[in-house]
Chain A
Amino acid sequence: MTLLEIHEPGETPLPHAGEGSLAVGIDLGTTNSVVAIAREGKPAALHDETGKAMVPSVVAYPSSGGVLVGDEARLLMPQEPRNVVASVKRLMGRGAADLHAVAGVLPYEIEPGSGETDMVKLRIAGKARSPVEISAEILKALRKRAEEALDKPVERAVITVPAYFDDAARTATRDAARVAGLEVLRLVNEPTAAALAYGLDKGSEGLYAVYDLGGGTFDFSLLRLEKGVFQVLATGGDTALGGDDFDRAIAERMLAERKKDGLDDQVDEAAVKAALALARHMKEQLSDRDQTSGRLELSGVPSFHALTRAEFDAMIASYIKRTVDIARHVLGDADMTAAEVQGVVLVGGSTRVPLVRAEVAKMLGKAPLTDIDPDEVVALGAALQAEALTGGGDTLLLDVTPLSLGLETMGGIVEKVVPRNTPIPVQLAQDFTTYQDGQTAMVIHVVQGEREMVADCRSLARFELLGIPPMTAGAARIRVSFAVDADGLLTVSAEERTTGVQQRIEVKPSYGLSHDDMADMLYDSLENAEADMTARLLTEAKVEARRSLLALDAALAKDGALLDGSERAELDQGRARLEAAMAGEARDEINAAAEALETLSKPFAERRMDRGIREALAGKSVNELESRVGE
């Protein structure tokens, strides 16, 4: 299936499904998924025969044929580990260039897509399958569960995504729903959905925070609740931080303990998987007790491992500190203090860890709200929104962009067009110009992230605007418009505006993704703001210097004859000095050399000006000139 779709703005590919069918809310999680329905403002998760709401986000393609989802799929893990896929959400919208970020974590054979920008595929049971297809299997199973429970066709859904999901991952989620025969009424951010469930349940008003720590992602959002309006003020997070990291820390410790005891393990895929599974079990036990122990058997050799809550807390402290730092940052973005937060909602399985609760309480100075099941709260909120979108309802959800969107300008500097935390939908434009005389094409490179340099941001799309009429440098007006819709999906267009020649291109971002992880980018932005500024100033100095060199060369080519030999030699020397400075990293030297060259070329510039005036005046009578002067 193709992921790079270009359709008319405002056009939905699917016509509206029958009004008789029901609309559900789906939390499509990394570890677990939940489907829920709301009727008359009362949401409920849909359970299986045994009363379980959570469906493990695991898909199996048994060698005997068919597809299994959830607990059944998980049961196949020991026998056919290579035919079972877990945590596929981490691959949604990920391109070949992203691979090394997740490689090693995932025990599958991974095939890059056909092009650099395509999403990766997994080779499972002899067939290449895309993360979209695999996620669609989970969605199909949830849809079936809903149809059985409600005894009605279900064709529409609100699906939640981490607030911090980028454009590619959002598009991939939409596509998965389409494959599963579900029309997506709206993609809603997970923390926003959680707040919806709380707010509507409690009729709360004021400033609320949502702290969501799941298996693989962390989100922190600040919302204002007021008379049915849910206004997201700011959001932040990390798409690679969660309970999985805790598991890894414990597993590494156990493997190290074995090594210390002289066991010479072959640490292969199976060993890592076994250690991780035990680690997770021990971690979850430590949420209810002060110590635990486990038995790890690798290649038939057993070992015993004890772990206390205090030891565990020390192991995960740095991860939790990172979440607290991000949360503080979000508060700062919203220009709010912890004291102003009325309540904090905990979401996600990893918020059961006592240290997480304690640190959140400490940061915000109040005990977190946990009265809605943290496993279900996101799906419940999604169900409420599904009802509001189909049946009316008076709530209003106002969400924001999680990351800044911008363009690459000269020298690899990012010019931000849509700052993070801008309310959506949004449509903002900025004018850019050409750099060289006669330039007829311009590369539009769209990036997402908070850093000053393109290399540190995530690349979303790159296209070329052709057919710019040749003009002097700086004369063209290229207007680039960014539109982000209510699902958080981006469309970019560009046109040249001075000549009336309308060149318009609509581009959906591709998946040519840089290796940087989005979350790191945001977090790094603060850490590196000072260094970034220095880098930016240096690049600006270089760009400025290159611009004046270009101008000088153009002038020399045209009017070089105005200079005598020694003058020309002097200018060339000055020019060479500037070029040498530009090759280095010292901004002061570049600026000094540029200034020196400017002084050197002043007489030349004056002579050119004189000649220009003389030429303009040539052949005109004195009378004519006088009358002109009198004008």
Chain B
Amino acid sequence: MDHFARLGLPAALDLEPASLDRAYFALQRQWHPDRFVAKPAAERARASAEAAALNDAYRTLKDPLSRAVYLAELKGVEMPGDGKTIDDPELLMEAMEAREELHDAGSTQAVDALAAKVRADMKASLSGLGSLFLAGDKPAIRKALLRLRYLDKFAEEARARRMNLERSTA
């Protein structure tokens, strides 16, 4: 059963966070191990497996990027597994330059500015995904998702850099 079906939701890129939560909470109320404390071992094991599958589904669908990657894979787009590989030379160049910029950013303000740029960039490309999915353009979807993955990772690195700057100036 795919993650969307498990939560009783349509397999779509756009998902209202509130409706995801609602579906997830309702099913966890039914399956969470806390509901099975006094039940026989076999029933407890089943509930635990169900609850784990629900958690996996929720976690995957909650974040817009991981949801998009998951949906793309459902639709037959092949993504590199580890999320680290960049096989697009253009993106590789971009990534190297951005990393350099981050490295040179000497103040939290400078890092914040970079992070804000990346966030805006992510938002724009996430909303651009819809039309790519609609057109079923697999290579374009793959390219866009790889770039989003890289941006996501960059945002995380910016966070680490910021923390370091904060600590060293304190």
B160 in contact (CB, < 8 A)? yes
A486 touches B41 (CB 8 A): no
B108 in contact (CB, < 8 A)? no
8 Å CB contact of A396 from B25, B163, B167:
B25
B38 in contact (CB, < 8 A)? yes
Interfacial chain B residues near A16, Cβ < 8 Å: 38
8 Å CB contact of A527 from B41, B157, B163:
B163
List the B residue with the shortest CB-CB distance to A333: B159
**Bound state CA distance, A329 and B164, in angstroms?**
12
A388 touches B159 (CB 8 A): no
A181 in contact (CB, < 8 A)? no
Q: 1/0 per residue A1-17: CB within 8 Å of B?
A: 00000001111100010
List the A residue with the shortest CB-CB distance to B161: A530
A529 touches B160 (CB 8 A): yes
8 Å CB contact of A425 from B33, B42, B170:
B33
Cβ distance A316 to chain B, nearest Cβ, rounded Å: 16
**Bound state CA distance, A19 and B21, in angstroms?**
34
B25 touches A229 (CB 8 A): yes
**Bound state CA distance, A522 and B33, in angstroms?**
28
A374 in contact (CB, < 8 A)? no
B56 in contact (CB, < 8 A)? yes
8 Å CB contact of A485 from B33, B37, B58, B157:
B33
**Those of A415-434 within 8 Å (CB) of chain B:** 422-428
**Bound state CA distance, A238 and B157, in angstroms?**
23
Interfacial chain A residues near B28, Cβ < 8 Å: 229, 396, 398
**Bound state CA distance, A483 and B163, in angstroms?**
32
B34 touches A426 (CB 8 A): no
Cβ distance A433 to chain B, nearest Cβ, rounded Å: 11
- Chain A interface residue count, Cβ-Cβ cutoff 8 angstroms: 39
**Bound state CA distance, A397 and B32, in angstroms?**
9
B167 touches A527 (CB 8 A): yes
8 Å CB contact of B34 from A19, A231, A486:
A486
B34 touches A427 (CB 8 A): no
B170 touches A321 (CB 8 A): yes
A423 touches B34 (CB 8 A): no
B59 in contact (CB, < 8 A)? yes
- Chain B interface residue count, Cβ-Cβ cutoff 8 angstroms: 31
8 Å CB contact of B52 from A185, A229, A389, A425:
A425
**Bound state CA distance, A329 and B160, in angstroms?**
10
Most buried by A among B25, B42, B53, B170: B25
**Bound state CA distance, A19 and B38, in angstroms?**
9
Cβ distance B33 to chain A, nearest Cβ, rounded Å: 4
A529 touches B38 (CB 8 A): no
A388 touches B48 (CB 8 A): no
Interfacial chain B residues near A231, Cβ < 8 Å: 25
Cβ distance A184 to chain B, nearest Cβ, rounded Å: 10
A426 touches B45 (CB 8 A): no
Interfacial chain A residues near B42, Cβ < 8 Å: 10
B75 in contact (CB, < 8 A)? no
**Those of B81-100 within 8 Å (CB) of chain A:** none
List the B residue with the shortest CB-CB distance to A485: B48
A329 in contact with B163 given A11-B41, A485-B33 (CB within 8 Å): yes
A170 in contact (CB, < 8 A)? no
A186 touches B25 (CB 8 A): no
B44 in contact (CB, < 8 A)? yes
8 Å CB contact of A332 from B37, B56, B159:
B159
**Those of B8-60 within 8 Å (CB) of chain A:** 21, 25, 28-29, 32-34, 37-38, 41-42, 44-45, 48-49, 51-53, 55-56, 58-59
Interfacial chain A residues near B167, Cβ < 8 Å: 325, 527
8 Å CB contact of B45 from A10, A229, A396:
A10
Given contacts A10-B48, A422-B59, 8 further A-B contacts (CB under 8 A): A19-B38, A325-B167, A396-B32, A397-B32, A397-B34, A398-B32, A423-B55, A427-B49
Provide 16 A-B residue pairs closer than 8 Å at the C-beta atoms, listed in order of the A residue. A8-B41, A10-B48, A11-B41, A325-B163, A332-B159, A388-B34, A396-B25, A396-B29, A396-B34, A422-B59, A423-B59, A424-B55, A427-B49, A427-B56, A483-B52, A485-B48
Where the two chains meet, the residues of B that have a C-beta atom closer than 8 Å to any C-beta of A are 21, 25, 28-29, 32-34, 37-38, 41-42, 44-45, 48-49, 51-53, 55-56, 58-59, 157, 159-161, 163-164, 166-167, 170
